[in-house]
Every structure is written in structure tokens, then in C-alpha cells.
Amino acid sequence: MSRAAEETGRAEPVRRALDLVSLFCPDLDRFGSLSVAARGDLPAVECELLDHGGHMTVTMERQYHCRLDLRVIAERHDGDRYAREILLATPAGRVVQYGIVRIDLSAVDAATAAAIRDRGAPLGRILLAAGLLCDVQHVNLLEIEPGPHLRGLVGGAGRSFGRVAEIAVDGRRTIELLEIVVAA
């Protein structure tokens, strides 16, 4: 692979992540800086939490031994296109994950779409409860230096790690995700 092709390949996950960020933080510099990370760049815990093809809700609830609460920070509706900026927190209120999700609600049944819009539970829990065949794919790890927007939501956290991914529902690309683990 040529150096230019390699750089383009490394830039694609960052572009995907920034596309999601721009939905809720148009001034990308206020969000922070993102770069592609390799598995070996992540601390062991963050690597285990992020480098997999499963739902982050399940992974994070397993890590913290509790059901996590969903806090929706902002939402956007455009017909069947729905996006939200969220935090997941422990019952004690500790924020453990930041995320942005964009969903094509026409790819899920009406009850699942209503449950997502209802904001009562994390997305992964809703998809699993609906029994949907979901395939988490195109997972790329990221390193994040939080800017004022992200720090304001998750606290004074320094360097963080996350992932950008897609979920296909019944074989159809349906969901785009940016998920960032909030370090203790």
C-alpha cells in the first residue's frame, strides 16, 4: 500500500467520527482532536472495552456490574433519520461513556423505533430486547484529546479512547456510532 493510500485509510475513521461530532458540535475544535489508534496504543482496560464487535452497552454493564442509565444530551430528528448525543452513567451518577449515534429508523420495526425515541434505555439494550440480528462492523479505534465541549460533558478527563463503528441490522447498514470510554 502506498503511503498516500495508508494515510487516506487512517483518515477515514477520523472523518466518520467527525461527521457524527458535527451533528452536535459544529465547531470541531471545541470537541477536541481525534486520531486513529492501534490496539497496542490503548491501555489494557480500554482495549478490552473497545476492541470488539459487540454492543458497548453489554460490555460497559459487564465492566461496571450494573445497568447503566442513559442521559440524552441532545437529539436531532429528520424523518426516519434520528441522532442523539448521550452519556451512560452508573446508578451512582458516574459517567462512564460518551456517545453519538445516528440511526435509520426505517430499518427497524415501529415498536423498536418508538423505544429508541422514548430515551428510556441505552440503544444496545433496546436492540437486544427486540431480538434484532445486529452485526457491529467497521470498528476503528480512536485516541481523543478532549476539547471544551467534551470536557464539559465528561469532566476534566485527559486523553481518552473510543471507537467509531457501524451496525448492520438484518444485513442493512442502519446505525453509525462514536463511543468514548470515560477514564476513571
* pLDDT, tens only, 128-172: 899 887 788 999 999 999 999 999 999 866 789 999 999 998 888
> Region 36-52: what's the mean pLDDT?
91
Mean pLDDT of the chain: 90
For residue 174, what are the CA distances in angstroms to 82, 118, 137, 164, 165?
11, 18, 11, 14, 11
Q: Write out the three cell numbers for 113.
A: 423505533
Judged against a pLDDT cut of 60, whether residue 6 lies above it is answered with no
Model pLDDT, residue 132:
81
Least confident of 32-36, 68-72, 129-133: 129-133
pLDDT band at 1 (very low <50, low <70, confident <90, very high): very low
pTM: 0.91
C-beta separation of 19 from 29 below 8 A: no
Model pLDDT, residue 184:
63
Number of other CB atoms surrounding residue 114 within 10 Å: 12
Measured between alpha carbons, how far is 82 from 117 in angstroms, rounded to an integer?
8
Which residue spans within 9-118 are E strands per DSSP? 32-36, 69-78, 81-89, 95-104
SS3 51: coil
Would you kindly state where each structural domain of the chain is located, as residue ranges? 11-181
Superfamily of domain 11-181: Chorismate lyase-like (3.40.1410.10)
Number of other CB atoms surrounding residue 151 within 10 Å: 17
Residues counted in the chain: 184
C-beta separation of 11 from 35 below 8 A: no
C-beta separation of 142 from 35 below 8 A: yes
DSSP 90: -
For residue 109, what are the CA distances in angstroms to 113, 126, 174?
6, 12, 12
pLDDT band at 183 (very low <50, low <70, confident <90, very high): confident
Model pLDDT, residue 157:
67
> For 79-105, how does the pLDDT look when each residue is reduced to its tens digit (9 = 90+)?
999 999 999 999 999 999 999 999 999
